[in-house]
Homo-oligomer: A and B are copies of this chain.
Amino acid sequence: MSERSPRNPVQQIGILVFPDAEELDFVGPWEVFAMAAAVVGDLRVALVAERAEPLRCAKGLRVLPDHDFATAPALDLVLVPGGQGTRAEAENPRLLEWLARTAARCTWVASVCTGSLLLHAAGPGRGKRMTTHWAFVEELRRRAPDAAIVAGPRYVRDGNLVTAAGVSAGIDMALWLVGEIWSPEAARATQRAIQYDPAPPWTAEV
C-alpha cells in the first residue's frame, strides 16, 4: 500500500493497455479521471504497457503508452480494459505478474468489459464478485468458476475491486470511483465537464 495523504488516497492512476485492447474501454475512464484531475488536483493518469511502443487497439486505433512495466510509477489505482487482446494476455506471464504485483499495492483495482478475465487470471479477481460484458458472462464463468459472476449491474464492487460491464460502462464506473475516492461533488463537476447527460437515440434493449 503506497503512502498517501488520507485526504487524497489516489494520486497516480495507471491504465493498462495491450494490443487489441478495446478503445472506449480505456479512453472513457481516461477522460473521466483526467477531467477529475482538473477538479481535484494532485492526480495523474498514465497508460502503462509491457513495452513503451505504439500499439494497435482492437478497432485499429494506435496509441503510445506513457510507461513500460519497468519504468511505470507506483500506482494507487490500476484499471484493466477489455477487448479481444485479453485472451492472448491471459497467457502472458509478464503481464500477469506485473498486474498481480501492482494490484497488491493499489488502493483500488478496476476493470472494464473483459478486463475482468485478466484480473482473475492475475489473481485479484479470484473468489470475488465480478461482472463483464453481457456477451462474455458465460465465458468468464467458465474461466473463473471460483468467482461469482453477476450479469446486469453497470459495475460491481467487492472490497477494493470494481469491475464494469461492457465498453461504455467504464464511464459510469470511473465516475462512481471519483465520487467514492474524492467526493460526489467532484464526480458531479467531472460529469458536467464531459457533459455526460446521455440520451441513446434508438431505444435498444441493451
Listed in ascending order, the chain A residues whose CB lies under 8 Å from chain B are 22-24, 27-28, 30-31, 34-35, 45, 47, 54, 59-64, 66, 113, 133-135, 154, 165-169, 171-172, 175-176, 179, 184, 187-189, 191-206
Contacts and interface: CB of A to CB of B under 8 A. Distances in A.
Contacts of A135: 193
For the complex formed by this chain, how many copies does it contain in all?
2
6 contacts: A27-B61, A62-B63, A166-B194, A175-B202, A187-B202, A196-B204
Nearest to A60: B34
Nearest to A15: B61
Contacts of A184: 202
Contacts of A134: 192, 195
A154 B135 CA distance: 29
B200 A196 contact: yes
B23 A24 contact: no
B176 A204 contact: no
Q: From A47, A179, A201, name the one whose CB has the most chain B CB atoms within 10 angstroms.
A: A201
B195 A166 contact: yes
Contacts of A66: 60, 62
